[in-house]
Amino acid sequence: MLRKNVWLVLLMVGSLVLSMLATGCGPTPTPQVIRETVEVVQTVPVVKTVEVAVTSTPVPTPTPAPLKGEITIAVVHGAMMDWMRPMAEKFMELHPGTKVNVIEEPAGGQLDAMIAAGNQPDIFVGSFGYMAAKYAAMDVLVPLEDMPGAEELFARLDPNTLYKYYGHYYYVPAGIDITVMIYNKELFKEAGLDPEKPPETFDEFLAAAEKIQALPPREDGSKVYGTVFWNDALVWGGWYWNMLAPIYFNINGAKYRVMNSIGTDIVFDKPEAKMAEFFEFCKKAQQFAPPTMEQNFFSRSIGMWLQYGYSWAP
């Protein structure tokens, strides 16, 4: 196109010169009209979309570092200890770099003393009550929801067994004590009671215990009792209350404990807690019970037992 323009300019210049020369030489010639056809080519860009499938490169799952270290677990004496020790042994077999020490729970105020000295167990298994709130307030417990795998763990647990203190979970239920009443159907029949209809109220319980207590001694001379209490546990301090507590909870519909949920104030003094009714029932029921568990329910000479199942196994 540039070349064509140049020639066009040259052509126009040549005509002008010729015209000037012709003017000087003779008559003016008739001007000629020069026509030229110019072909214009326009380029139009074409956009074509091409689909390309791109697969992502899989990211390899990192292999967790092997567990290492030593921890100490304090558990309740008895069946819980027998259950925890084999579990600890199995854990150490799976993780050779670890050591798990299983010790008996500190009695009385020893745990507080161990905390003050800085040598408390890493994990404590026991019947807490308000203890979790107490130690959370002392800032000696770790919020469990911050630990790896906590979300999956809590999703597997019954929400009724979980409670937050100060906005955090400080414990995981390792087991649930279910205390039930068991009764001897043969003694019910002998006392004229319906063996298929055990007592459903505390008044019915006392009435049945009185009738069973009136039965004659067994062939070996053993006295028949209407019920039994684990009175031997009186020397164990708080454990005796732990075994009576389910009776207290049933009397007030499980709405009140001895203290509030964080252990900062008593609640048993409220009339609706029915502590007075609880003590009145225990006083009457003890009249139909032997002084100790030496003659226990399984001697076949005791009609009913309200405390069966408490901590017999984890």
Q: What is the pLDDT of residue 110?
A: 86
All domains in the chain, ordered by first residue: 69-161 (3.40.190.10), 180-308 (3.40.190.10)
What pLDDT is attached to residue 92?
A: 96
pLDDT of 249 higher than 50? yes
Q: Which two tokens stand for residue 272?
A: 């609706």
| Torsion, Cα of 9, 11, 17, 23 (10° steps) | -130
Q: Are strands 225-228 and 180-183 parallel, antiparallel or unpaired?
A: unpaired
Q: What is the residue whose two structure tokens read 């409670």?
A: 163
Question: pLDDT tens digit string along 168-218?
Answer: 999 988 777 778 899 999 999 999 999 999 999 999 999 999 999 999 999
Confidence of residue 28 (pLDDT cuts 50, 70, 90): very low
Residue 127: the pLDDT is 67
pLDDT grade for 15, boundaries at 50, 70 and 90: very low
For 264, the token pair is 């900062």
Alpha carbon distance 255, 65 (integer Å): 47
pLDDT at 43 over 60: no
pLDDT band, residue 80 (cuts 50/70/90): confident
- How far apart are alpha carbons 280 and 213 in whole angstroms? 19
